[in-house]
């Protein structure tokens, strides 16, 4: 069945909008058609245009994108002064068709269509006061009189050549990591790199200090996010917090390359909270025969 996109206005889509809203994850008062129409009547002006778009599969409404254009910028309808939430209205189960169709349509437009990306300074400013102060202090200390550089390998051959250095740093960082790295697990790490690097999903980061590799970590680059898989550092440089700073610089790389999130994965290590990590609940399901 054909999926189409149609330009709407409040009169043409209002009734369907109210009907679909309770069946979406965007069901708040700020996303109601009357809230958005009130704002438009009061604050819409000659330099802005409505871009309310509906996505339909045959006669069935999959979702609504309440947008507007101002100059060369496409944004959600409304502003952050009077709206606590903005969102697309998408019927549950229709997300894939809705977003694929909407994005194809947006790509044909001439105006800018990307929201403001977070910056490294904004990330640091968002940390708790103590953590923010400590991170800035440690970064200054790292570079004070030292030549510090972080870089990443994503080429399969370069990763293969650098893996022994990663294993060295991982083993050195903690006795339990040394015990964990059995020959089978080392080979599994290499297999991961061979499988994921050609897909553009594997990055091997190193922090180098005065031409010596002092910390390393593996990040998976998947679905627009970095996932920190494993890491290691040289304890001789622990006074400079090279392990933590290498991870912080990975977050900076994620921000600067437009990743939507940085996932520390499982574990409650202190550094994750120092770098702004938050808890997510993971459930374990075990089924046994009686």
pLDDT digits (tens, 9 = 90+) for 151-204: 999 999 999 999 999 999 999 999 999 999 999 999 999 999 999 999 999 999
Please report, for residues 117, 194, 263, the alpha-carbon distance to residue 258 in angstroms, rounded to integers and kept in the order given.
7, 25, 14
pLDDT digits (tens, 9 = 90+) for 216-274: 999 999 989 999 999 999 999 999 999 999 999 999 999 999 998 999 998 899 999 99
Those residues whose C-beta lies under 8 Å from the C-beta of residue 219, and which sit 6 or more positions away, are 152, 202, 203, 205, 226, 227, 228, 229, 250, 254
Tell me which of 3.40.630.30, 3.40.50.720, 1.10.645.10, 3.40.50.300 is the CATH number of domain 120-274: 3.40.630.30
Chain centroid to CA 2: how far?
Answer: 32
Cα–Cα distance for residue pair 64/88, rounded to 1 Å:
6
Q: Where are the domains of the chain?
A: 3-107, 120-274
Those residues whose C-beta lies under 8 Å from the C-beta of residue 202, and which sit 6 or more positions away, are 154, 159, 192, 193, 196, 218, 219, 220, 221
**Sign of the alpha-carbon dihedral angle for 178, 182, 185, 186:** positive
pLDDT at 84: 81
* Model pTM score: 0.63
């Amino acid at each position: 069945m054909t999926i189409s996109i149609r330009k709407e206005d409040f009169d043409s889509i209002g009734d369907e909008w109210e009907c679909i809203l309770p069946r979406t994850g965007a069901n708040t008062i700020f996303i109601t058609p009357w809230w958005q129409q009130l704002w438009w009547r009061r604050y819409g002006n000659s330099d802005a245009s409505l871009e309310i778009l509906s996505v339909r599969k045959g006669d069935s409404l999959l979702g609504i994108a309440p947008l507007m254009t101002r100059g060369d910028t496409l944004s959600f309808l409304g502003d952050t002064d009077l709206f606590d939430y903005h969102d697309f209205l998408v019927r549950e189960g229709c997300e894939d068709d809705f977003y694929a169709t909407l994005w194809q349509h947006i790509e044909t437009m001439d105006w800018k269509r990307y929201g403001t990306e977070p910056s490294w300074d904004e990330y640091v400013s968002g940390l708790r006061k103590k953590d923010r102060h400590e991170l800035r202090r440690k970064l200054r200390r790292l570079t004070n009189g030292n030549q510090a550089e972080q870089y990443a390998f994503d080429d399969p051959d370069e990763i293969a050549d650098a893996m022994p250095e990663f294993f060295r740093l991982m083993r050195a960082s903690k006795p339990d990591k040394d015990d964990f790295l059995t020959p089978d697990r080392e080979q599994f790490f290499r297999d991961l790199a061979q499988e994921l690097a050609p897909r553009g999903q594997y990055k091997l980061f190193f922090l180098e200090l005065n031409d010596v590799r002092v910390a390393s970590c593996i990040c998976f680059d998947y679905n627009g996010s970095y996932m920190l898989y494993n890491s290691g550092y040289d304890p001789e440089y622990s006074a400079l917090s090279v392990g933590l700073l290498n991870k912080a610089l990975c977050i900076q790389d994620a921000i600067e390359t437009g990743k939507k999130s940085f996932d520390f994965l499982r574990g409650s290590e202190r550094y994750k909270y120092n770098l702004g990590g938050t808890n997510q609940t993971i459930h374990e399901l075990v089924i046994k025969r009686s």
